[in-house]
Amino acid sequence: MDPIIILQAGVATGTVLLFATLGEVLAERSGVLNLGVEGMMLIGAMTAFSVTISTGNPWIGVLAAMLAAGLISQIHAFISITLQADQVVSGLALTLVGTGISLVLGEGLSKAGTVSLMPNFSIPLLSAIPILGPIFFTNHSVLVYIGYLFTPLAWYYINRTRPGLHLRAVGEYPSAADALGINVFRMRYLYVFIGGMLAGLAGATLSLAVSPGWFSELTTGGQGWIAVGLVIFAQWDPVRAAIGSYAFGALRRLILDIQGPLLLFGFDNPFYYNSYLGFFLQMIPYAFTVIVLVIGSREAFRKRLGAPAALGEPYIRGERGK
């Protein structure tokens, strides 16, 4: 129950949520709500593990996972952007399809044994910083460090670059963006694809780094849905998304660790002696997601912040009032 170890492991666990949440932030900023994150993550986790087994190279596994999840996300893109169907139902369908396909193709993978994982290493110099060094820069998977780079990159891209401006325009006021010559449809397809790739990366982070292996649906255990919830808490901002993801990661880790020691704060640890009390601990991340949603929704209401104005609305060219 060393807090530094819990936080260190929490950063690793949180990286999974981070990738998935950042991907969903980008897709939603372009106006497409994609509830298929859970399904895309499962596709990613399964592909990463499977490809790594057959090639022996986890890097190829990660790339394949991103590609596979990106491709499957295009089902949602086609149905919701081109066919203008309801994004909620389409996203749900994507989760079901992704789960189903990953179960079918992942058959037998759970008994496949060990694979070579993504490498772990410490960053010289930075790891020597007291407290922060051991938490953020010691013995992490390379994917965790990549996660550190993605957050500021995503923030800068959305808020300070021209393509980022186009992205926001497409999500807030697609007809104006269209009038400026931005191809709304192409942009939305693109960001759904990027969101899918990031969800695939999140899945790969699970199966090749954080909790190695393929455990059918339990591999993700609802983390894709938590990511969708975190986007609302994050108010579509990458920095808040990162804070939320790492906090959730630490929480998940704390829940695992709290069942270990015999004594808790000097008392007999009830979770150690009655293992079934652990089911209450398992509820915490999900209950916490609901609480976080309430906080996020109230804050958004108070500050009059909100979702991208065109979120969930199909763009139909030439329709009035859009």
Partner 1 sequence: MTESTVTKKRSFWRIRLEPRLDEPSTLLSLSVTLGAVVVALILGGVVIAAVGGNPFVSYAYIAKASFGDTGVLSDTIVKATPIILTALACSIAFRMKLWNIGAEGQFIMGAWGASAIVLTHMLPDESSRWVFIPVMALAGMSTGAAWGFIPGYLKAKFNVNEIISSLMLNYIAVSWVNFWIFGVWSEGGFQMSPKFPVGASLPRLSEYAKEFPIFRGLTTHGGLIFGFVAAIILWFIVYRSRWGYEIRLIGDNPQAAKYAGVSIVKNIILVMMLSGALAGLGGMSEVAGVVRRLQTSPINAGYGFTGIIVAWLAKLNPLVIILVSILFGALILAGREIQPAGIPKMIQGIILVCLIASDFLLRYRVRVVRGEEA
Binding flag, residue 289, partner 1 (CB under 8 A): yes
For the bound state, the minimum distance from the C-beta of residue 252 to partner 1, rounded and expressed in Å, comes to 13
Binding flag, residue 70, partner 1 (CB under 8 A): no
Tell me how far apart the alpha carbons of residues 144 and 313 are, in angstroms, rounded to a whole number. 34
Of 103 and 153, the one with the shorter C-beta distance to partner 1 is 103
Q: Which of 88, 126, 128, 131 binds partner 1 (CB under 8 A)?
A: 88
- The 3-state DSSP class for residue 118 equals coil
Q: Which of 15, 21, 99, 205 binds partner 1 (CB under 8 A)?
A: 99
Are 58 and 117 a contacting pair, CB within 8 Å? yes
Binding mask 6-45 for partner 1 (x = CB under 8 A): -----------------------------x---x------
Binding mask 210-249 for partner 1 (x = CB under 8 A): ------x----xx--xx-xx--x-----------------
CA dihedral 113, 45, 99, 27 (to 10 degrees): 180
Of 117 and 281, the one with the shorter C-beta distance to partner 1 is 281
Of 58 and 98, the one with the shorter C-beta distance to partner 1 is 98
For the bound state, the minimum distance from the C-beta of residue 54 to partner 1, rounded and expressed in Å, comes to 15
Tell me how far apart the alpha carbons of residues 151 and 124 are, in angstroms, rounded to a whole number. 22
Cα 21 vs. chain centroid, distance in angstroms?
4
Binding flag, residue 112, partner 1 (CB under 8 A): no
Are 313 and 172 a contacting pair, CB within 8 Å? no
CA angle 113, 116, 117 (to 5 degrees): 110
Tell me how far apart the alpha carbons of residues 197 and 192 are, in angstroms, rounded to a whole number. 9
Binding flag, residue 161, partner 1 (CB under 8 A): no
Q: Which of 60, 67, 92, 247 binds partner 1 (CB under 8 A)?
A: 92
Residue with tokens 């996203």: 91
> Token digits for 108?
């037998």
Of 32 and 226, the one with the shorter C-beta distance to partner 1 is 226
Q: Which of 126, 131, 263, 290 binds partner 1 (CB under 8 A)?
A: 290
Tell me how far apart the alpha carbons of residues 248 and 243 are, in angstroms, rounded to a whole number. 9
